[in-house]
Structure 1
């Protein structure tokens, strides 16, 4: 099946062929990332699941193959919270090019105790933002080797109401887990937009696209054993929420479109059609805190200092 033209409607259930392409999905072993990987696997592409848990990745690949018998899927050991291991993981890809990376993996903590990585970074900021920042930097040569490489960053609608404190990116003061999570997702999204500005300025063929999944609930998510099993009771209890929210299979649609659709351009934001919470993916305006280029520039500088990596600097 050829790529769609701009005049054709995007069908979330029949994405275009991506035969011969290589895609990396971080956190592709569970949640929304699993469904991104499953849907991309259905296009004929080779899909690599970046995950620190080999057993969960194996379970995800089993589930994908049960839905897509000819799926080309494999696991890449990847721990975004441990910066020293990111480059060795990229080296282990053993690819000559990468057509897209979906920066999807994320940590959401709900306990009041602030956690740090072995590098001394706040865990959510480190995993959700810094790890993907470093990963993108190490992947830059592989993405540049593809005819039209894409960096697809999955943020969250909660980021739109967050504010970054550039003097306290590690949230050492007044730590609250929900706020820290929202800040980490805002950092991710600002990185995605700033990355595209820098790619355009450098004349690179790689583009950076940002998306968010809207509101996703497990009771609205179809079963994918052994990754996710939904009981009849859970499904029935989740039905009222389906008016405003959706399952994780639908929450994957914006990222999948950002990877595959030829009409997608760098610097764009894609999210669910209905109030940004559910439905087919659509283009959204980039405004408010997401359009703050000054904060994005300062965040970039701080991220380079914290990771020792400058994406696409060479």
Structure 2
């Protein structure tokens, strides 16, 4: 028998048309999230930037509009550190369905002291993980209304060497900022994979896909004035690092592929091709500790307790089944 035709190679410069699809990008006003939004808009998608800062979001919308003719990009206020505000943010989307959401927003602290949100949660864990966990709950009806929708979670290489302590998820003991950041990203990644397992068990057509952007430097990133204007000196000083890492435009490629590539499946992880640090996106085998389903289940239960949200007891299976029918 003749072998099945091979899927065409993914081309980051020739994206499939995305007209008629809607995508929410958290933290889409700057950094990697901005380039995710710009590239998706360039493919024809309607993109919503979820951002706390309206002025920065408007600047990002103007920048995308200057590069993408007819770009459909809007903004919705979104503060992941304030779970009580998330339902109103989702209502403000004004959509009846959502084809994809990219969980890109995050905060990274470099120095002590340990900081907490108004709800009393460690800031990085609360913003990077708990906020997106709660947001998933409010987005459920919109995602379930779009058959084949995707939840794309941006992990980090910083999580590769970390392990979660289920007894101290919020780093109350021996707080170290870089370690706490890596653990918050690991929590996101474990959540993304546990979410996909639960979606499959519920019979939902929604998929949860994991990505990580590799190494991304501002100095290697294309200018997007006034959002980002690297100096010539910065570019020259960091040019040798381009052999190892990349700019944020390229770092956006895994998330864009996770949204648009029809061959991507739930539970997969996409990352840069070269050592997970730079290059075109590929499907990468899961790191060993990401297969820890026991820790993932404990994290899920703790996240429900901390947010007061019983995520996905029935809604995806009920609404997803209706949408798919």
Please classify the TM superposition score into its range, dividing by the shorter chain length. over 0.9
Q: Which runs of 4+ in 1 moved over 3 A?
A: none
Q: Distance in 1 between matches of 2:231 and 2:32?
A: 19
Give the number of equivalent residue pairs: 310
CA contact (8 A) 1:111 1:177 kept: yes
Aligned to 1:75, the other structure's residue is in SS state strand
Q: Distance in 2 between matches of 1:311 and 1:210?
A: 19
Q: Equivalent residue for 1:44?
A: 44
- Where in structure 2 are the equivalents of 1:40-189 lying within 5 Å? 40-189=40-189
Task: Encode CA deviations 1:261-298: one digit per residue, 9 max, x unaligned.
Answer: 00000000000000000000001111321111100000
CA contact (8 A) 1:220 1:242 kept: yes
Task: Encode CA deviations 1:17-72: one digit per residue, 9 max, x unaligned.
Answer: 11011000000000000000000000111000000000110111111111112100
CA contact (8 A) 1:129 1:187 kept: yes
Q: Distance in 2 between matches of 1:310 and 1:162?
A: 27
Task: Encode CA deviations 1:98-133: one digit per residue, 9 max, x unaligned.
Answer: 000000001001111100000000000000000000
Q: Distance in 1 between matches of 2:24 and 2:198?
A: 22
Aligned to 1:112, the other structure's residue is in SS state coil
Offset, 1:7? 1.7
Q: Equivalent residue for 1:225?
A: 225
CA contact (8 A) 1:134 1:310 kept: no
Q: Distance in 2 between matches of 1:205 and 1:190?
A: 20
Please give the TM-score of this superposition, normalised by the length of structure 2: 0.94
Offset, 1:6? 5.9
Q: Equivalent residue for 2:13?
A: 13
Aligned to 1:161, the other structure's residue is in SS state coil
Q: Equivalent residue for 2:305?
A: 305
Consecutive unaligned residues in structure 1, runs of 5 or more: none
Task: Encode CA deviations 1:125-150: one digit per residue, 9 max, x unaligned.
Answer: 00000000000111011000002110
Aligned to 2:140, the other structure's residue is in SS state helix
Q: Distance in 2 between matches of 1:84 and 1:125?
A: 16
Q: CA RMSD in A?
A: 1.0
Q: Distance in 2 between matches of 1:112 and 1:147?
A: 44
Please give the TM-score of this superposition, normalised by the length of structure 1: 0.97
Task: Encode CA deviations 1:227-269: one digit per residue, 9 max, x unaligned.
Answer: 1111111111111100100000000000000000000000000
Consecutive unaligned residues in structure 2, runs of 5 or more: 316-325
Aligned to 2:160, the other structure's residue is in SS state helix
CA contact (8 A) 1:35 1:248 kept: yes
Q: Distance in 2 between matches of 1:275 and 1:120?
A: 38
Q: Distance in 2 between matches of 1:81 and 1:312?
A: 21
Matched, 1:201 2:201: yes
Q: Distance in 2 between matches of 1:71 and 1:273?
A: 29
Offset, 1:96? 0.6
Q: Equivalent residue for 1:35?
A: 35
Q: Equivalent residue for 2:286?
A: 286
Q: Distance in 1 between matches of 2:161 and 2:93?
A: 37
Q: Distance in 1 between matches of 2:310 and 2:234?
A: 45
Q: Equivalent residue for 1:192?
A: 192
Q: Distance in 1 between matches of 2:292 and 2:224?
A: 39
Q: Equivalent residue for 1:248?
A: 248
Q: Distance in 1 between matches of 2:29 and 2:6?
A: 32
